[in-house]
Amino acid sequence: MVPLNWYMLLSAVVFTIGVTGFLMRRNIIIMLMSIELMLNGVNINLVALSHYLQDMRGQILTFFVISVAAAEAAIGLAIIIALFRNKATAHVDEVQEMKG
Amino acid sequence: MNLQFPDLTPVMPELFMTALALILLCTELLVKKKGILAALSILGVVVVAYTLIGSSGTTFGGMFVSDGYSTFFKVIFFVNAILSVLISIKYIAIERVNFGEYYSLILISTLGMMIMASAADLIVLYLGLELMALSTYVLAGFIRYDIKSNEAALKYFLLGAFSSAFLLYGISMIYGLTGTTDIKSIALYISEKGLTENPALSLSMILFAVAFGFKIAAVPFHMWAPDAYEGAPTSITAFMSVGPKAAGFAVLGRVFMIAFASIKLEWVAVFIPLSILSMAVGNIVAIAQTNIKRMLAYSSIAHAGYALLGIIAANNEGLASMMSYLMIYAFMNIGAFAVVIMLRSEDFKGDSISDYEGLSRAHPLLAALMLIFMFSLTGIPPTAGFMAKLYVFMSAINAGYTWLVVVAVVFAVISAYFYLRIIMYMYMREPKVEVSLSTSPSLGLALGVTTVAVLAIGVFPLYLVELARAAISGF
């Protein structure tokens, strides 16, 4: 049996990779993937804790997180496509219409 | 298995709102005139507001609560939704994005805010937050052919999704610590087991503060706000500078005052720098702006700093002053944006501050209205903005933060520079460009309502303050 703190450590590592990816990478699609990584880090945490506490709430929240993440990805990709039609780029540093 | 049907009375307003948004979406297919959709949505919101009466109670196993606190915030959201629809009708036609989904999205976003205000459980809170945020992302990017609007939506979306991941990590930490997601049970468990010293509790508190700092646009989590506010359609800028901010404050009040009540000292120590930084950055950077929407974005960051003083006071008086602040802010801010929208016509952008030069010559009434809103945003009596600041400052002084109020007043004085500069431009400069107004009855109605509200609350503030106090009494 894998102890709980290994799962929590994995979750923290996955979450941190997501945060670092979001802050370091400049491609919008990869930033979107980093956000998914952060959410999945949280999901690992929730499911592990839910099993450890023998309580269903964590797993229920995980289902909600997965479905909301799907909606979020749909909207995010739609925004990227709308942007791409006006300016053929997927690089955040090139999207700089406003300054001040 | 005995499955009991939950009591639906407390969620009636939310159910009506959902039905209204979906009906509107279907009506859009049949009705060609978009004005009818707007009228229908305003009428619908009024009906939903009516169902608020007698909706108090707790349901879904304590996950959803409808009390005075949530009802007061829901009234702010309804005011916000109705005024935003009123100022949109002609504007979205000018911007050539007159689609029916616009109104449904506003209502769905309002529904998300209502769920947030009523959430007594972190799962419900998260779902409400996402419902609000996802529809606002779409609204921010509603002018599809305009790259500025795309950029606004992109930045708002990326940082919003980033912050909600932080919120989720905070929820998972507190779930692991207490084994529950119910806000009241969390507080009970922490005080029973004596977990106040636990670092995981402080960590999750900080993650919550980060996530809601993004939502209310407090510095240093404000980077998205100026770009998102400038690029988004002006009516949506008005909508999202009031609604999501008020919803964020509603959640801040409930989560921090109840769930994290035992570590009050620590979270107050987190919010004090956030508040000072918001006031400082918001007011000082606003001075350098040349675009009025961007200036109002920085002003909205500063106002988040003032309203945070009510949270920092950490008592019912502070919460009541924060609630009346947000109500007043809704009127004066949407009023100012209504003036900005009026300047926008088919071939004229009208969002540069220099466009206001000499406005009082050609359009004295509009200039006078803008004067009232700018006075109110600065906090000059007899406008409502003065009363809003007065009560927030008083509650902070009564809680023992006199030095913080001194800092806030200094920044309020700095803010006078850029608000009064608009007035100076309107009254003391010669007009450079000829501004033709795009008037419409609905925009006039919105301006009338906001002006009357700003002046009436400024002269008779006690009614609103008593209402907020009564709302908070059962908290």
A22-31 pLDDT, tens digit each: 999 989 999 9
Count of beta carbons in the 10 Å neighbourhood of residue B94: 16
Q: Position of tokens 């003083």?
A: B309
Residues from chain B that touch A8, judged by Cβ atoms under 8 A, are 176
User: Cβ(B251)–Cβ(B212) under 8 Å?
Assistant: yes
CB-based contact, A56 to chain B, within 8 Å: no
Q: Which helix (H) or strand (E) holds B312?
A: helix B292-313
Tokens of B317: 């008086």
Question: Do you find a cis peptide bond into B13, omega within 30 degrees of 0?
Answer: no
Q: How far apart are alpha carbons B298 and B302 in whole angstroms? A: 6
| CATH architecture of the domain formed by A4-87 | Orthogonal Bundle (1.10)
Give the pLDDT confidence score for residue B202 in this predicted structure: 92
Are the Cβ atoms of B148 and A72 closer than 8 angstroms?
no
Please say if the pLDDT value at position A61 is more than 60: yes
* Beta strand ranges found along B166-295 (DSSP E): none
CB-based contact, B244 to chain A, within 8 Å: no
Give the pLDDT confidence score for residue B1 in this predicted structure: 57
Give the pLDDT confidence score for residue A77 in this predicted structure: 95
Q: Which residues of chain B have pLDDT under 50?
A: none
Give the pLDDT confidence score for residue A100 in this predicted structure: 56
CA within 13 Å, CB half, B443: 23
Query: Angle at Cα B430 formed by Cα B425 and Cα B431, nearest 5°?
Result: 85
Give the pLDDT confidence score for residue B401 in this predicted structure: 95
Average pLDDT of chain A to the nearest whole number: 92
> Mean per-residue pLDDT for A2-19?
94
Find the distance separating the first CA and the last CA of chain A, reported in whole Å. Answer: 55
Its pTM surpasses 0.90: yes
CB-based contact, A73 to chain B, within 8 Å: no
Q: Which of A25, A61, A3 is nearest to B170 (CA)?
A: A61
Domain boundaries, given as residue ranges, for chain B: 12-471
Name the B residues in 103-142 with CB < 8 Å from any A CB: 122-123, 126-127, 130, 134, 137-138, 141
CB-based contact, B350 to chain A, within 8 Å: no
Q: Which chain A residue's Cα is nearest to B130?
A: A68
Are the Cβ atoms of A28 and B158 closer than 8 angstroms?
yes
Residues from chain B that touch A83, judged by Cβ atoms under 8 A, are 147, 150-151, 154
Are the Cβ atoms of B148 and A97 closer than 8 angstroms?
yes
Q: Which of B367, B436, B435, B342 is nearest to B91 (CA)?
A: B342
Q: How far apart are alpha carbons B249 and B278 in whole angstroms? A: 15
Q: How far apart are alpha carbons B23 and B43 in whole angstroms? A: 13
Give the pLDDT confidence score for residue B197 in this predicted structure: 85
Give the pLDDT confidence score for residue B128 in this predicted structure: 96
CB-based contact, A44 to chain B, within 8 Å: no
CB-based contact, A94 to chain B, within 8 Å: no
Kindly report the nearest CA distance between residue B464 and chain A, in angstroms. 37
Give the pLDDT confidence score for residue B252 in this predicted structure: 93
If pLDDT is split at 50, 70 and 90, which confidence band does A1 have?
confident
Over residues B355-386, the pLDDT tens digits come to 999 899 989 999 999 999 999 999 998 899 99
Long-range Cβ contact pairs of B465-470 (< 8 A, separation 24 or more): B465/B320, B465/B321, B465/B324, B465/B387, B465/B391, B467/B72, B467/B324, B468/B72, B468/B320, B468/B321, B468/B323, B468/B324, B468/B327, B469/B316, B469/B317, B469/B320, B470/B68
Tokens of A55: 């309580």
Over residues B310-333, the pLDDT tens digits come to 999 999 999 999 999 999 999 999
Beta strand B57-59 pairing with B64-66: antiparallel
Domain boundaries, given as residue ranges, for chain A: 4-87
Are the Cβ atoms of A75 and B130 closer than 8 angstroms?
no
Q: How far apart are alpha carbons B423 and B446 in whole angstroms? A: 21
